[in-house]
């Protein structure tokens, strides 16, 4: 999915070693579907060449306000009018100070000053030494930039080129792209807290064996990411999966159904929406051996006794907040056949306003899916698409229901 398809972005580079990250950022923006026009200061060209950025962006790079390629010699006007946003990455301490005072002595600062403020947002990804970042002057400048309507991203923490360690690193390319995706997503869930479960559970038989299922967690993680983009505070309770935590999402790792239930029951009282996307094991072994159960060659097999796991969704839906409408509950049903019939029955059994069904074997581990949304009035299909796209569609649907709930 080209999340930034159709977006025209001016990528501005100012002086700093973090310019090397701008190369990957440019590549990532183009890969995401954006048209990228690079504008560099003289200082930036000391760290990375315009030739490199031209190769990655596929567009001529601008470095001078006197560039004769523009027929009217007004690159600062023409380029800013064509942009959906100006992204400065890296944004140096010096450049941010210039913006505060409206200084415009070279092309990039001219563009920032000349852009139509209401139409072309300015987004900064700061990068500097930890002491420079912590300096009161820099922090005053950041506060003033935000007050002026500039969107200033957080800085990263870690090793710096100078050999020191601390705050001030420019965010990584994928983190900046994620911030841009969130920036342009309508904030239909602002002020809402979403609790989401994802992935399988693992029910131990002994220290090396257990019962699980084929759920990858990709759909639940995509929903958590989409919800965060839509402005929600998101808590993700994840079973044993090896997926990176979506940026800005609070994650609680669990393994068994009992652990997942404990985490959900602890968090649900503070949530506005509960989306039970996890594939929770229905049963667990009645006992788990302390040591590996060994095969002795006799041909005899161990007998396993099972007990039923708690029905996490039903417990939350039937809680006082679930019953009185304070908590909107969404269930998931991974079926192998007769999806509509099973999903409809499960929605009624669980007592939830919305049940999302899919055919498990055709989606487990895949990057795409097809969903069936079942409520009290019938069913609606979300045709097969990427899980990213379906997650955003589902979040929009849930947001619209919340306004009527």
DSSP class of 324: T
DSSP class of 20: H
Across 256-398, the runs of DSSP E, i.e. the strands, are 273-276, 283-285, 306-308, 328-335, 354-359, 368-375, 378-386
Tallying the residues shown for the chain, one arrives at 405
Q: At what angle do helices 19-31 and 173-184 cross, to 10 degrees?
A: 50
DSSP class of 82: T
Distance from chain centroid for Cα 155: 17
Q: In which residue are the tokens 């509509």 written?
A: 340
Relative to beta strand 156-159, strand 151-152 is unpaired
- Provide CB contacts within 8 A for 113, sequence distance 6+: 99, 102, 104
Q: Which two tokens stand for residue 12?
A: 């501005």
162 counts as catalytic:
yes
Q: Which is the catalytic residue, given 19, 112, 162, 329?
A: 162
Q: Prior bond to 112 cis, omega within 30?
A: no
Backbone φ, ψ for residue 40 (5° rounding)? -120, 145
Question: Distance (Å, rounded) from C-alpha 204 to C-alpha 39?
Answer: 56
* Torsion, Cα of 152, 156, 159, 165 (10° steps): 80
Q: Which residues are tagged catalytic?
A: 162
């Amino acid at each position: 999915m080209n999340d930034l398809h159709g977006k025209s972005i001016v990528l501005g580079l100012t002086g700093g070693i973090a310019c090397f990250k701008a190369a990957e950022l440019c590549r990532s923006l183009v890969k995401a579907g954006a048209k990228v026009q690079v504008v560099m200061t003289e200082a930036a060209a000391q760290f990375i060449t315009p030739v490199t950025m031209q190769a990655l962006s596929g567009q001529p790079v601008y470095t001078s306000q006197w560039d004769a390629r523009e027929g009217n010699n007004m690159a600062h006007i023409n380029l800013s009018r064509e942009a959906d946003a100006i992204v400065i990455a890296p944004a140096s301490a010096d450049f941010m100070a210039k913006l505060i005072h409206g200084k415009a002595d070279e092309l990039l600062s001219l563009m920032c000053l000349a852009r139509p403020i209401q139409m072309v947002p300015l987004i900064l990804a700061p990068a500097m030494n930890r002491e420079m970042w912590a300096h009161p002057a820099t922090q005053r400048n950041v506060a003033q930039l935000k007050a002026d309507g500039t969107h200033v991203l957080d800085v990263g923490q870690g090793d710096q080129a100078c050999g020191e360690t601390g705050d001030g690193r420019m965010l990584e390319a994928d983190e900046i792209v994620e911030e841009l995706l969130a920036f342009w997503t309508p904030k239909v869930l602002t002020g809402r807290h979403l609790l989401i479960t994802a992935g399988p559970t693992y029910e131990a038989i002994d220290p090396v064996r257990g019962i699980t299922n084929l759920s990858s967690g990709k759909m639940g993680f995509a929903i958590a990411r989409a919800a965060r983009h839509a402005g929600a505070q998101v808590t993700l309770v994840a079973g044993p999966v090896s997926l990176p935590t979506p940026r800005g999402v609070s994650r609680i790792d669990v393994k068994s159904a009992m652990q997942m239930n404990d985490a959900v029951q602890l968090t649900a009282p503070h949530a506005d929406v509960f989306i039970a996307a996890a594939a929770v094991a229905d049963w667990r072994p009645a006992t788990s051996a302390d040591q590996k159960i060994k095969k002795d060659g006799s041909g005899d097999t161990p007998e396993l006794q099972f007990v039923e796991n708690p029905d996490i969704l039903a417990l939350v839906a039937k809680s006082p907040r679930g019953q009185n409408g304070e908590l909107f509950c969404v269930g998931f049903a991974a079926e192998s056949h007769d999806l509509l019939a099973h999903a409809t029955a499960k929605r009624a059994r669980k007592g939830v306003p919305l049940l999302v069904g899919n055919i498990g074997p055709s989606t487990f581990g895949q990057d795409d899916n097809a969903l069936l949304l079942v409520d009290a009035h019938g069913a609606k299909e979300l045709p097969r698409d990427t899980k990213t796209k379906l997650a955003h569609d589902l979040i929009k649907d849930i947001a619209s229901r919340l306004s009527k709930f």
